[in-house]
A = this chain, B = another copy of it.
Amino acid sequence: MARNKHDIEALITGVTSGDRGSLARCLRFVDDDPAFGRAVASRLHEHLRGARVLGITGNPGSGKSTVVDRVIENLRAAKKKVAVLAVDPSSPFSGGAILGDRVRMSRHFEDDGVYIRSLATRGALGGLSRSTFDSVRVLDAAGFDYVIVETVGVGQDEVDVVRLADTTVVLMIPGMGDDIQAIKAGLLEVADVFLINKSDREGAADLERGLRTMLSLVPHADNIWEPPIVRSIATKNEGIDELMKKIDRHATFLESEVGRQRLLSRQGEMFERLLDAALIDAGRAGLGNALEQARNSVRDGEDPYAAVTALVEAS
A contact residues vs B (CB 8 Å cutoff) = 38, 41-42, 45, 59-65, 88-93, 98, 100-101, 121-122, 124-129, 137, 152-160, 176-183, 185-189, 217-218, 264, 267-268, 270-271, 273-280, 282-284, 291, 294-295, 298-299, 301, 303-309, 311-312, 315
Contacts and interface: CB of A to CB of B under 8 A. Distances in A.
Contacts of A295: 268, 271
Contact of A276 (B124, B137, B183): B124
A298 B154 contact: no
Interface core residue of A137, A270, A278, A299 (most chain B CB under 10 Å): A278
B189 A92 contact: yes
Contacts of A271: 294-295, 298, 304, 307-308
B274 A308 contact: yes
Contact of A182 (B41, B60, B160, B182): B60
Contacts of A311: 275, 278
A91 B184 CA distance: 9
Contact of A185 (B98, B189, B305): B98
B152 A152 contact: no
Given A155-B155, A280-B279, A178 B305 contact: no
Nearest to A42: B305
Contact of A279 (B41, B182, B284): B284
Interface core residue of A42, A61, A152 (most chain B CB under 10 Å): A61
B303 A45 contact: yes
Contacts of A124: 276
A287 to B, nearest CB: 8
Contact of A180 (B60, B121, B189, B277): B60
25 contacts: A38-B305, A59-B60, A61-B176, A91-B186, A92-B185, A93-B217, A98-B181, A100-B179, A101-B181, A121-B186, A124-B276, A125-B160, A125-B276, A152-B153, A155-B159, A156-B158, A268-B298, A271-B294, A271-B298, A271-B307, A275-B308, A275-B311, A278-B311, A279-B280, A282-B283
Interface core residue of A279, A284, A299 (most chain B CB under 10 Å): A279
Contacts of A306: 42, 45
Contacts of A88: 182, 186
A276 B298 CA distance: 15
B180 A61 contact: yes
Contact of A179 (B38, B64, B90, B125): B64
Given A153-B154, A283-B283, A183 B89 contact: yes
A179 B61 contact: yes
Given A152-B153, A270-B304, 6 more contacts: A42-B309, A91-B185, A137-B305, A268-B304, A274-B308, A278-B312
A127 B125 CA distance: 10
